[in-house]
Each structure stands twice: as C-alpha cells, then as structure tokens.
Amino acid sequence: MSIVNKLLHTRYRVNDLERTVRFYKEVLGLEEVRRHKSPRGSELVFLKTPQSDELIEITFFPGSGPVQVQADLTHLAFSVDNLEEFSRHLARQGLQFSDGPTTTSTGSTFAFIDAPEGYEIELIELPAAKTP
C-alpha cells in the first residue's frame, strides 16, 4: 500500500498576484522561492517561512474566473514569537487583527488577520517553555 510521505505545498488562487505576494513577503516575512508560468497559463509563486520546508503556492489563473473566498473556509496558521510585537508591526503596515488576540486554556494566544483575497491567516504565540 502506498501512503503519502510529506506535505510539499498548499495552493491559494488569487485575483491579484503581485498584491498578495507583497502581503506575504512584507507583512508575514515569507521568502519567495521561485516563480513560473504553468503549461496551462497559471502564474505561480512559491513562498516559504524561514523555519519550514512546506511551501505556499500563490496562483493567478484568470481563465477560471474571479476568486470569491467565503468566510471561515480555510486558513494558514503561523507561529510568532510575540503577538503584541506582531500587532505593532501590523500597525506600521496600516493593518490590524481581524479577530483576537485570544488566550487558550493551554496558554497559547492566537489572533487572525486577513490576506488580500480574504483568506484568513492565524498567528499563534505558543506559551513559553516551563522550566522545572
């Protein structure tokens, strides 16, 4: 029996490729790994976080019509060292959290921002490691 081995990338189709790529690079700090046009005409940009192997594929394919993201459909989750510091970074970009921050019973704190197409981005500050 064959099973999958590793998550390689997640794709999000968008209406405005450059605006969305700029958001992921400038607001979230992702790195552009590669960019190309597929045989069917899609424009593809692959991005990654500094500490992950998995990629995010941002795709523009005008032949399939406009993207309309419904609320609470899907989201990407990223860890951050400090949500309060990230909030100040957002404010300098003219942005703010769309929901949260909220602290869970386990001590994690999370908040959401919206990417340009309406895809949600969850930011999670994990609790500090407890020393015995």
Active site residues: 122
- Strands 120-125 and 75-79, bridge-based pairing: parallel
What sign does the CA torsion over 86, 101, 32, 66 have?
negative
Q: Cα–Cα distance between 32 and 30 in angstroms, integer?
A: 7
E-only strand ranges, the chain = 9-13, 31-37, 43-48, 55-60, 75-79, 99-103, 109-114, 120-125
- Of 84, 117, 76, 129, nearest in space to 103 by CA: 84
Report helix, strand and coil shares of the chain as percent, to nearest 5.
Answer: 15, 35, 50
